[in-house]
Structure 1
């Protein structure tokens, strides 16, 4: 077996999982299983949010990959895990596993944009009721609309700029403006309740959860880095809403 191809396949799987927002201990576990199932039981793996390393102990084989993009995509993580299981069950050869992973990396599965916006609207409306415990049917439609607008603005800004946290800031500005305008036009009653629901699609809940899980698993560097990233994202969201409210 070509050990360079094995390490390349292992690192490709790890990079896809990290870019999809997986916990670091899950990434290392999947990479280790791929190496073990290929017959290499003496591998060394080190992973961070910005780069992963893999080598075979006492052998002149070592590779690393840089991580430039990090998002939340559970489907990519699930597909990598499924391919890893098929490789463990000998349903795939190493070359087939590498090809399938490369296809997954180049053809990222996404729901249509309109469906994501509708999902953001439904999420905003429902979570407004959950968190506020107020069944104000007059505010529910406005919460859904403002949440969808904020999410759409954040996605668009994320596509046109590589600066982190700008998309969350502009998205929160947009939804806060829409919520305040809607209340002033008489389309809603309680601005606070509407904002609580509308901001939920932007909140980094998965990032916060994964940072805590990484800390508990002993990945202190990754847990702290992801925790700070989540805190900065939440701060950008709060800053955008605070600016609009203070101006109003």
Structure 2
């Protein structure tokens, strides 16, 4: 195999692994570490990577020009992150060739490993009810919170499919949750609307994004940390604005 072709394949392998991990919620330092470990195993120049939430720049010392890959869509699927990390470990252990690993990563990228919508809805609903109890609410508000949380999550998922602007979907989901909470209280089904709202919006809160933002800032990845922090702030603003509009109505 020609050195140039081998180098190109290694770079494509590193970029694909980094892309899968970054798209599915991995921290910046983990993405960079995985890419550098893969490149280091093949010993083709010293690897350099620059990772932000919207793109990856990767190069090898004095071999070929740097390559850029754009990250357009991001979600949370830690199963894919674990699978990509597992493939990278198999590469560094000599269990997979570059072509075999690249093929497995391509298959992994196409797979949808997320849970079915029904299970996601059930988890969001139950967690909403549990958060009410956690925030010192009464058991009489468990079922109303379960209903409001499930309704808000469903609203978020389907509106986000229709409108790609995440802020708008989160705003409407929070608005629906607030509206449902006050309606249930007015009908006598709920007792403390504030506790129901707090518990119901928790599935929408960007917990992983906030955690990764803090982790990246602590690691010195200032651009990624601030970007993820800004993204989390927009989500929090959308949720707060949606609830504030309901409060202004009632």
Match of 2:8?
A: 4
Structure 1 residues 157-177: Cα deviation after superposition (integer angstroms, max 9, x where no partner): 111222131111111111111
State the secondary structure of the residue aligned to 2:166.
coil
Structure 2 counterparts to residues 154-165 of structure 1, below 5 A:
154-165=156-167
From 68, 72, 76, the counterpart of 2:76: 72
Structure 1 residues 137-168: Cα deviation after superposition (integer angstroms, max 9, x where no partner): 21001101100110111011111222131111
Tell me which moved more, 161-170 or 192-201: 161-170
Match of 1:92?
A: 96
From 59, 62, 65, the counterpart of 2:63: 59
Distance apart, 1:73 and its partner CA: 1.5
Q: Distance in 2 between matches of 1:39 and 1:150?
A: 50
Q: Distance in 2 between matches of 1:182 and 1:100?
A: 50
Instruction: List runs of 5+ in structure 1 lacking aligned partners.
Output: none
1:20, 1:73 within 8 Å by CA — same for their partners in 2?
Answer: yes
1:7, 1:62 within 8 Å by CA — same for their partners in 2?
Answer: no
Q: Distance in 2 between matches of 1:41 and 1:10?
A: 13
Paired residues, number: 246
Match of 2:146?
A: 144
State the secondary structure of the residue aligned to 1:55.
strand
Q: Distance in 1 between matches of 2:207 and 2:64?
A: 41
Distance apart, 1:16 and its partner CA: 1.0
Q: Distance in 2 between matches of 1:180 and 1:160?
A: 27
Q: Distance in 1 between matches of 2:136 and 2:183?
A: 23
Q: Distance in 1 between matches of 2:236 and 2:44?
A: 42
Tell me which moved more, 13-22 or 38-47: 38-47
Structure 2 counterparts to residues 197-212 of structure 1, below 5 A:
197-212=199-214
Structure 1 residues 73-103: Cα deviation after superposition (integer angstroms, max 9, x where no partner): 2111111111111112222111111111111
Q: Distance in 1 between matches of 2:51 and 2:227?
A: 13
Q: Distance in 1 between matches of 2:180 and 2:151?
A: 8
Tell me which moved more, 71-80 or 22-31: 71-80
Q: Distance in 1 between matches of 2:169 and 2:80?
A: 22
1:34, 1:84 within 8 Å by CA — same for their partners in 2?
Answer: yes
2:25, 2:74 within 8 Å by CA — same for their partners in 1?
Answer: yes
Q: Distance in 1 between matches of 2:44 and 2:126?
A: 48
